Amino acid sequence: MATVQLRNIMKVYPFVSGEQKKGKKKKTDEPEKKSNLQITDEGVVAVQAFDLDIADKEFIVLVGPSGCGKSTTLRMVAGLEEISGGELYIDGQLMNDKAPKDRDIAMVFQNYALYPHMSVYDNMAFSLKLRKVPKDEIDVKVREAAAILDITQYLERKPKALSGGQRQRVAIGRAIVRNPKVMLMDEPLSNLDAKLRNEMRAEILKLRQRIDTTFMYVTHDQTEAMTLGDRIVIMKDGYIQQIGTPQEVFNHPANLFVAGFIGMPVMNFFDAELKKDGNKYFVEVGGYRVELAPEKEKRLLANNVSSQPITLGVRPEHTDVGDSGVSAKVDVAEMMGSSVHLHVNANGKDVIIIVPTIDMESNYKFGDTVHFSFSGKVAHVFSKETSKNLEY
């Protein structure tokens, strides 16, 4: 149990000799590409300007696509990667130069990383033995953790005699026996099949209630992020894109990337025009005019937003099929059980609409014409220039 503060954390991987030449060549040939690749004279920048305060016992999830720097950030907190710049505090103490063993953290790896020659019991007891904890105490702690994770019956087995799910439980058990200040998890469920992943997700939620410590959890799966996290940190290209509760990032995405990354199916985006008429704001898209909700208008007014071309975002679940609205042709109708994901084409633009099956009056077929609309409450307006949400 501890607070964690990351202050302007940066990670730069220095060039090895061959890469440096390559990097320099790129610098002269394609200067404009340099910043996109996050290449500086020092090396490749994996994480930068990372500022985050994690409260005691908070469950923070770092989420983002591959290569966004989320695992690197976690590994810097663990002490497995050197911190190139900035400061890391755990429980108020500067940890930049402390070895992993002196940080009082535990980590669950994506690949389990179990010691293959040791039994499950010994795997879990290893860290306690190194800390010279009395044998009786080790036994109590290991058995307690095993009971929590329901692996008591496997304590004498070697990891190779366990299934993937059981191995991941052992890996979690190895982390929790120590009762660490901070529990770090690096995509712990990504090697499991879909069913087991769902089960383990629920297990982690239960575990969280029982062990009551600070969690930092890395995943590329937004469902895991939304269901597990008290707050989510969305990352891209080494930068934080948004920090917020699952509801905040879903309902108020800070930019186009977050809007597209969070939510499944992804948000629909349209080229549109934002019109300001006095204190009123409207969006015009494909001849369809939508008046924005008063709270949105208030925020746009506060930001002094003027009429401009925008990218309009509307989530598939917030789009309604009806008799009026934008006309579109059905391409594909995916039956998902409780809903149908309707892929339609509106003036050459692919749009996804979620239609609850309870509301479905007929089966949709390829080529059917439908009309869809959305309310001004659920429309998100993004700047064409900066990709930022104009409301914030």
Partner 1 sequence: MNKKQRKSEFNKYTTKDKAILYAGYVILGLFIAAIVVPVIYIILASFIDPVTLQNSGLTFDFSKWTITAYERVMGNDQIWTGFRNALIYSVLFTLISVIVTLLAAYPMSRADFKGRGFFNAIFVITMFFGGGLIPTYLLISRMHMLDTIWAILLPGAFSVWNMIIARTYYMGIPRDLQEAAEVDGATEMVYFFQILLPVCTPIIATIAMWQFVGMWNSYFDAMIYLNSASKQPLQLVLRSILIQNQPEPGMVSDMQSTAERAQLAELLKYATIIISSLPLMIMYPFFQKYFDSGIMAGAVKG
Q: Which residues bind partner 1 (CB under 8 A)?
A: 78-80, 99-101, 105-107, 109-117, 126-127, 130-131, 158-162, 164, 167, 174, 191
- Look up residue 165 and give its two tokens: 């799910």
Strands (E), 224-315: 231-236, 239-244, 268-277, 280-285, 288-291, 308-314
Least distance in Å: CB of 164 to partner 1? Answer: 7
Spatial contact of 354 and 265, defined as CB atoms under 8 Å apart: yes
- Choose between 192 and 351: whose C-beta lies nearer to partner 1: 192
- Choose between 166 and 311: whose C-beta lies nearer to partner 1: 166
Tell me which residue of 4, 6, 3 sits closest to 51, measured CA to CA: 6
Least distance in Å: CB of 176 to partner 1? Answer: 13
- Choose between 52 and 124: whose C-beta lies nearer to partner 1: 124
Mark residue 67 as left, alpha or beta (left: phi above 0; alpha: psi -120 to 50; beta: remaining). left
- Choose between 83 and 105: whose C-beta lies nearer to partner 1: 105
Least distance in Å: CB of 144 to partner 1? Answer: 18
Least distance in Å: CB of 23 to partner 1? Answer: 19
Rounded CA separation 66/55 (Å): 26
- Choose between 141 and 380: whose C-beta lies nearer to partner 1: 141
Strands 85-90 and 4-14, how do they pair?
Answer: antiparallel
Least distance in Å: CB of 221 to partner 1? Answer: 16
Tell me which residue of 223, 362, 351 sits closest to 286, measured CA to CA: 351
Rounded CA separation 6/86 (Å): 8
Strands 288-291 and 182-186, how do they pair?
Answer: unpaired
- Choose between 75 and 315: whose C-beta lies nearer to partner 1: 75
Rounded CA separation 41/32 (Å): 14
DSSP characters for 60-83?
A: EEEE-STTSSHHHHHHHHHTSS--
Least distance in Å: CB of 95 to partner 1? Answer: 13
- Choose between 163 and 306: whose C-beta lies nearer to partner 1: 163
Least distance in Å: CB of 146 to partner 1? Answer: 17
Tell me which residue of 70, 173, 69 sits closest to 115, measured CA to CA: 173
| Crossing angle (nearest 10°) for helices 164-176 and 120-130 | 20
- Choose between 97 and 359: whose C-beta lies nearer to partner 1: 97
Round to the nearest angstrom and report the end-to-end CA distance of the chain: 33
Sheet strand arrangement including 268-277: 288-291, 280-285, 268-277, 308-314, 380-383
Least distance in Å: CB of 268 to partner 1? Answer: 36
- Choose between 167 and 380: whose C-beta lies nearer to partner 1: 167
Least distance in Å: CB of 368 to partner 1? Answer: 45
